[in-house]
Structure 1
Amino acid sequence: MADQHVVSIVRRPGRTLSAEDGLGALLAAYHLRTEAEKGAPVADVDALPDRYRAEISDPRTAFAADVVLVARSGSAAVGCLVVTAPVDGRSEIKRLWTDPEFRGRGVASGLLGDALAHAAESGAGAVRLSVWKWRTGAIALYGRFGFAVTESWDERDQLVCMERAL
């Protein structure tokens, strides 16, 4: 596999998005790891909550109003990120995930940079996100991109909410 990573937008008007393009596998890995980190590991995708299984099996429907970015190494999907359309002047970043074999190579930074550019082009004045407090590497990455911890909009325990202006 090539050591070069090209970040490409998988979902744009006129293009389809499917689990078969590698996105489903990335989302499955993200959700399975998250459940394990929360102390509630599940054996496989079938044991995940319905809303997560829906993202994995039909991302086109789950993210119909969003833009999904996928990082590729050659033809393999190695990272993903979802950026929502602006609501009240703010977009949200969700589901940032890099295949563990490709971490430390700028994949997440590339996805995040493209997401911020897309949000700005879409008219958002700010971008927000939430991240589990134990994901210290992700929190540090967001900090390097200018995100700051803000008051929580989510009641889940151990969730860190962050935001940055565009």
Structure 2
Amino acid sequence: MAGAGPDADDPSPWVARWLPEAAAMAGRGRLLDFACGRGRHTRLASECGYAALALDRDPACLALNQLPGVEARTTDLEAGAWEWGAERFAVIVITRYLFRPRLDLLLARLADGGCLIYETFAQGHGRYGRPSRPAHLLAADELFAAARRAALRVCAFEQGMLEAPRPAVIQRMVAWRSTRPQRLR
């Protein structure tokens, strides 16, 4: 995937870049790593001192329960009702995953002052590999539009072609939920 380091277990450079910023702005409330896979971002969050909820359908994610502050669960991310109550998260990390029927619900789970860090594949990626079905590829500006619908403040948005470590077409975004003016540096 675009954004992965040389090793598939390395955190995405996009997430690694923005997670410390999220800690500075949103604090260290609980982080949700949605569709966490083997937990490359959950591990990074744990190292940064976050308490984290890691969700994936693959039972391999349960190994993440050994990390300090991590609760990992296996679940079908796409079927049935939302089963995580009304909890709101200080940070939500989503990479390499898109399921549009859950997108607005996920964005609504972001706490006031919270940060969304999202990176996934976009239209045009199919020529380089999987995923290639339109249901799994973002349309131009789609992530930005979803953030605006959810009244999030977008502070970073990119879409286009990455050459390394493998060619990929992606969209990635960092957005905040805040009723206060954004702090500038």
TM-score, L = length of structure 1: 0.33
Of Structure 1 and Structure 2, the greater helix share is in 1
TM-score, L = length of structure 2: 0.30
